[in-house]
Structure 1
Amino acid sequence: MTAGARTIIYPVKDLASAKAVFGALLGVEPYVDEPYYVGFKDAGQDVGLDPNGHANGMTGPVPYWHVSDIRATSAALVTAGAETVEDVHDVGGGRLIASLRDADGNPVGLLQDPTG
């Protein structure tokens, strides 16, 4: 079960430029503004800018589906024919992400926030 695709992460080469563009688009200041990640929240949508995304195999924006059990969901997707691109890992504060590719090569991101 998912809570929807509430996060989209864009790989960017020029973090400052991308931050300016998305700041103008969303009309809000980032809630995270670090050299390794800039994140915006607007209207229930989380938009992230990842300056390391291209180096990690991202070729475009990746929608992240919020799930309650990332490992079980990832395993179910692999069983159904998806290919793992990035294994489950903690990106800070207990937030887990993983990325996969469906049979057509489309990116599928998974995100599990810490409980408690």
Structure 2
Amino acid sequence: MSPTIRSLVIPVTDLAAAKAVYTALLGAPHTDESYYVGYNVDGFEVSLNPSGDTAGPVAFADVDDLDAARESLLAAGATEQSAPRKVAPEARVCVLADGDGNPIGLRGR
């Protein structure tokens, strides 16, 4: 299976202010928690991350095997920005960067 980009995570410093803007644009969120606000846009996930742990939005590619995809990208010259971590019972994420520092998000098992 080819990786598919299905989500965009936007770091924010003021969750309430960002939620007001994105709700005006995208409608009511499907998940509204202090640690995550998520919107479904025709099957594409747009989420707000109040921890603001990246410099800008990160597109996440869904992959079958997170560890294999991560190792492949690291071997090709990517660098690690955040190590794999569990974000849901069946999902882990990590963020790598290309040679110019652009973030590459991976989401998988």
* In structure 2, distance between residues paired with 1:4 and 1:92: 19
Distance 2:25 2:41 in 1: 10
- CA separation of 1:94 and 1:49: change in aligned 2, threshold 3 A: same
Q: 1:68 aligns to what?
A: 64
The AA in structure 1 aligned to 2:6 is: R
1:44 aligns with 2:43: yes
SS at match of 2:88: coil
Counterpart of 1:20?
20
Query: Structure 1: how far apart are the matches of 2:2 and 2:24?
Result: 30
The letter for the 2-side match of 1:74 is: R
C-alpha separation between the residues in 1 aligned to 2:3 and 2:68?
15
The Cα of 1:93 is off from its aligned counterpart by 2.2
TM-score by length of structure 1 reads: 0.88
Contact 1:8 1:47 in 2 (8 A): yes
Q: Aligned residue pairs: how many?
A: 109
Instruction: Report the identity percentage.
Output: 42
Secondary structure class of the residue paired with 1:13: coil
Q: Output the CA distance in 1 between the equivalents of 2:30 and 2:64.
A: 23
Counterpart in the other structure of 2:86 = 90
Aligned-residue CA RMSD (Å): 1.2
User: Aligned-pair distance for 1:2?
Assistant: 3.4
Q: Find runs of 4+ consecutive structure 1 residues off by over 6 angstroms.
A: none
Contact 1:85 1:100 in 2 (8 A): yes
Q: Could you list the runs of 5+ residues in structure 2 that have no partner in the other structure?
A: none
- Deviation digits for residues 40-80 of structure 1 (CA, Å, limit 9, x no counterpart): 11112100100102xx3x00100000111110000000000
